[in-house]
Amino acid sequence: MAAACARTLCKVGWTLLDSPAGLRPGTVYRLVGNVSAQGSRRAYGTGGTGVRSKLLSGLRGGGGRVVGCAFLLGGGLGLYHTVKLQVQQHLAEEDTKVSGGGLKLTLYQYKTCPFCSKVRAFLDYHRLPYEIVEVNPVMRKEIKWSTYRKVPILMVDSEVQLNDSSVIISALKTYLINKEKSMSEILRCYPELKSVNERGKEVTEYSNKYWLMLSEDETLATYPEKDLQKEEMKWRKWADDWLVHLISPNVYRTTGEALASFDYIVREGKFGAFEGFFAKYVGAAAMFLISKRLKSRHNLQDDVRQDLYEAVNDWVAAIGKKRKFMGGDQPNLADLAVFGVLRVMEGLQAFDDMMENTKVKNWYRRVERASLNYEGPN
């Protein structure tokens, strides 16, 4: 519409300038009338017939060339802005298509959950746009449609449901590398397994969740050096099986720290007024007691900070002095997993103590910058 109007203005302008008739009284009136008849039948304006009569009267006075220049200028500006807008829209569409991998992603999460934090770190680093649905930890009505009752849950194109943080990350990474397979096809490579744990509770696990489903050539391109893949898988599993279990005993170590932790959880989470009050005080007391049981279950030291310090120093030692990240010059999936787990302690005393008493700070800040600045390959 805008382009058609601009072309019409240019056509009138050139006609006025090129035709000798442009100097004769009444010519402009006929030209405008002809163009109006051939173009749109709709008229837009704020003036009535009086304004139009004055305008046409002025045109009959012989200012054809001046008016022609005005038409040309208006038409040219109109075309310029129309083309500019179309180019911007095209670039925006291309950018969305490229950065989003063609996927519409919705993440159901608790913000302070380390497993959810892992997924966000991966999505941010790889420049994958996503929507967040914060789940109420008490009622969980936001995921009442799902038989899988934990978070994170990632919905892909509102059709494919991915459960378990490590499955989500492995499946998405596979999709980004191998675009020939659909997400549904990739998900079949991570079958669900149900079992009963030592406490008699049914648990759901997933096969192959630390594996990327790639061809031999794709695997070689992704892991060019020997043992890089095994190393990445080993430390991703370590983050899930060991590091994550150090978080609760440390952030709920004392009654003061437990209260501060739940104050943060209530601020960042999705709680009603009564739920927030209940969670902050009753939840803090409960988790203080539960953290003592977790300490015993995982055979932690009396001072659980020492276990946290040893764990992150072991991680830094595994990276070594010659690498910025475990992935080399760029974070790999293990870097993002460990970062995601540790990040949930930010703002709490346990995090400050860890940064002050271990060697993790420089690595942590590098991964943080890479994730927040969306520096990953897509």
Look up tokens 């009138």; give the residue: 12
Nearest to 190 by CA among 215, 161, 216, 211: 211
**Mean of the per-residue pLDDT values of the chain:** 81
Domain covering 223-373 assigned CATH 1.20.1050.10 in the classification: yes
Which residues are known to be catalytic? Answer: 110, 113, 115-116
Q: Which of 9-13, 103-107, 142-146, 214-218 has the lowest mean pLDDT?
A: 9-13
Residue 292 confidence (pLDDT) above 70 = yes
Strand 130-134 with 160-163, pairing: unpaired
pLDDT digits (tens, 9 = 90+) for 296-328: 989 999 999 999 999 999 999 999 999 999 999
Say if residue 65's pLDDT is above 90.
no
Tens-place pLDDT, residues 177-228: 998 899 999 999 999 999 988 888 888 999 999 999 999 999 999 999 989 9
Q: Which two three-digit tokens encode residue 17?
A: 């300038």
d(CA 25, CA 35): 18
DSSP string, 127-188: T--EEEEEPPTTT-GGGTT-S--SS-EEEETTTEEEESHHHHHHHHHHHHH-TTS-HHHHHT
- Measured distance between the N- and C-terminal CA atoms of the chain, rounded to whole angstroms: 37
Rounded percentage of the chain residues whose pLDDT exceeds 90: 56
Which residues in the chain are classed under CATH 3.40.30.10?
A: 103-188
Q: What pLDDT is recorded for position 44? A: 36
Instruction: Give pLDDT, residue 115.
Output: 98
pLDDT category of residue 89 using cuts at 50, 70 and 90: very low
- Using CA atoms, how far apart are residues 123 and 232, in angstroms rounded to an integer? 18
Give ranges for CATH 1.20.1050.10 in the chain.
Answer: 223-373
Query: For the domain bounded by 103-188, which CATH number is listed?
Result: 3.40.30.10
| pTM for this predicted structure | 0.72
CA distances 190 to 76, 153, 210, 345, Å, are 58, 15, 9, 30
